[in-house]
Amino acid sequence: MAKQEVMIEPMTRLEGHLGIHASADMEKKAYVDAHSFITMFRGWEIILKNREPADAIWITQRVCGVCPVPHGMAAAMAVDMAYQAPPPPMGIAVRNFIFGAEQLYDSPLGCIVLEGPDYSQAIVEKANPDWWEAAKKEKAPHADLHGYKTIADIMTALNPITGSLWMRSLTIEKIGRKMAALMGAKHPHVNTLVPGGVAKTLTATDLEQYAAMLSQHVAFAKEFVPVMDDLLDFVLSMGYEDAGLRRTNLISYGGYDDPEAYNADYKDITDWGRKRRVSPGVVIDGELVTQDLAEINAGIREYVDRSYYSEWPGPAIREDPLGNPLHENHPWNKDTRPAPGPIKAWDSKYSWACSPRWEDWKKHVGGATHALEAGPIARMWTTAKGGLVSESTGSSVKFTLPKATVAGFRVADEMEFEWKIPEKVNAVERIRARAYYHAYSAYILFGQLLQALELVKQGKAKIWNKYKKPKNGIGVGMIEAMRGGVAHWVVMRNQKVERYQIMTPSTWNAGPRLGDNDLGPYEDAIVGTPVTEASEELTGVDVVRVVRSFDPCLACCVHLYEGDREIHYIPEI
């Protein structure tokens, strides 16, 4: 085997830095092994010990500057549960407005600013000149909607700084941040999330301003989805369907709570979870095995076999509030115990990320534990398959965005969208799902605005409920960040945090392997990815494309090594 190894480090800032070690068989032109490793310890769970549980709502938003709101939401829900402090319907609606605003800003950020350059003229012309020549001749099927005549025009528009699509994305992202700041006082790191609701005086003007900004995202979605469809269909036509391919093992916690259903009570979590506008679920080998948030929660495990942590004694909590058994590796039982070790010891511990797994404890498909993938493709899949919302057809999510006449946008009329469950989960389809999720979020928020106005008519404008904090409590908050499911678990003893655990979407995706055949999602997706680059000296562009299809947070820069020799430096473009 003509083997080449690459070390791409750091690739992104992701609760520290992400590195990828990958090996390619140059005769077969495919990657055959990979290791994903996080090189920085932060210790949020340790920082929160013995603090007021509500402090987590504001402290944990600092986990990420790109997607702070889902951390604030997950913490608020966990504390709602521990404090027995359910918000009123309008408080839940306002939380949804804050949450949705960040989802709207973050999807074009991922697709266009962070992932788009990997398919831009600047990269493709060098790495895949055959693609570029074909792109110049290929007409864009939806040119009438987005205005780019050829695929090459789209690729040129994705060039950072100079590309029109890349620059336009920055403008629409700013609108999303303004929407979040309107309801959250500022963004990033919003201030208005509190136990029992939100700390904001809501006015009719707030709803009007939010609606006006939302209309810009509605108009943008009508260009955004078609342009991504055209680009991604072309990339698939160039033989890229196996890039980032892995088994269809997915997890979604769902999002956008029903204001009339959510009550922060774990005993009702199955009911209010199933009423979310984005459906929860676990998918194993393409089969939707559960949509029960209680069952999903009870099945979560976190292992440290290949991670720089020590084991912990347990279990301290043997059952959840419904009486379901809890494993010693469940987050309610986990204690964060850092134990640094040698770097890049691939046969031992090599990452500061843990290895999440989900156990099929009700034995729907054999009872094994599975490495699941989080992200837009997971939540669109569970929503499409589940039949819990009217937009679900069983094989797609189908919805219509309303008419929105906005200056500077090409399409004013209403437009129907349909995200169809793809045959494969790969790099291309992850990006496509993110674009469609932007449109679906705009659609959901339009409906939420109408529901909020109806609540006002009914005299239900209250945004916070008074509560009396108990001495002891337990809580979990499960929600979707742009990159996938984020969950917080709290155990309160004597009104202080005894244990707190955070599992981000990139913990699911970036976690290291547990055994030779039990790879984390990044690692699994890289193995089998074709080497398409024209360069004789491997640059790792296909590895970068695969990992970025998961949308890791905060693009940094890339250093490439072959053995001990730095052979290339690629500034982030």
The predicted pLDDT at position 561 comes to 41
* Average pLDDT, integer, range 71-90: 98
Task: Report the distance separating Cα 396 and Cα 415, nearest Å.
Answer: 16
Would the pTM of this model clear 0.75, i.e. be above it? yes
Q: In what order do the strands lie in the sheet with 558-562?
A: 30-38, 18-25, 3-8, 558-562, 565-570
The predicted pLDDT at position 101 comes to 98
Task: Determine what percent of the chain is predicted with pLDDT higher than 90.
Answer: 90
Q: Which residues pair with 20 in a beta bridge?
A: 8, 36
Task: Report the distance separating Cα 49 and Cα 71, nearest Å.
Answer: 17
* Average pLDDT, integer, range 34-49: 92
Q: What are 120-162's pLDDT values in tens digits?
A: 999 999 999 999 999 999 999 999 999 999 999 999 999 999 9
Residue 9 pLDDT exceeds 90? no
Closest CA to 480 of 258, 283, 259, 281: 281
Cα–Cα distance list, 62 to 65, 107, 312 (Å) = 6, 20, 26
* Average pLDDT, integer, range 330-348: 96
Task: Report the distance separating Cα 7 and Cα 13, nearest Å.
Answer: 16
The predicted pLDDT at position 12 comes to 57
Phi, psi of 206 (to 5 degrees): -60, -45
Quick one: tokens of 81? 């549960």
Could you give all domains of the chain from N- to C-terminal order, each with its CATH number?
Answer: 3-342+350-570 (1.10.645.10)
The predicted pLDDT at position 537 comes to 84
Closest CA to 169 of 146, 186, 140, 152: 146
Quick one: tokens of 119? 């398919």
Lowest mean pLDDT among 12-26, 246-260, 349-363, 449-463: 12-26
Q: What are 191-219's pLDDT values in tens digits?
A: 999 999 999 999 999 999 999 999 999 99
272 exposed, middle or buried (CB, 10 Å; 0-12, 13-18, 19+)? buried
Handedness of CA 519, 116, 109, 222 (dihedral sign): negative
First-residue to last-residue Cα distance in the chain: 33
Residue 11 pLDDT exceeds 90? no
Assess contact for 506 and 17: CB atoms under 8 A: no
The predicted pLDDT at position 560 comes to 40
Quick one: tokens of 197? 């609701």
For the chain, the average pLDDT equals 94
Q: Which residues pair with 499 in a beta bridge?
A: 491
Q: What is the DSSP letter of 396?
A: E
Q: Hey, how many other C-beta atoms are within 10 angstroms of the C-beta on 102?
A: 27
Q: What is the DSSP letter of 189?
A: S
- Residue 35: strand, helix, or coil: strand
Q: Hey, how many other C-beta atoms are within 10 angstroms of the C-beta on 182?
A: 20
Helix-helix angle 427-457:89-108, to 10 degrees: 150
Assess contact for 163 and 140: CB atoms under 8 A: no
The predicted pLDDT at position 14 comes to 45
Residue 555 pLDDT exceeds 60? no
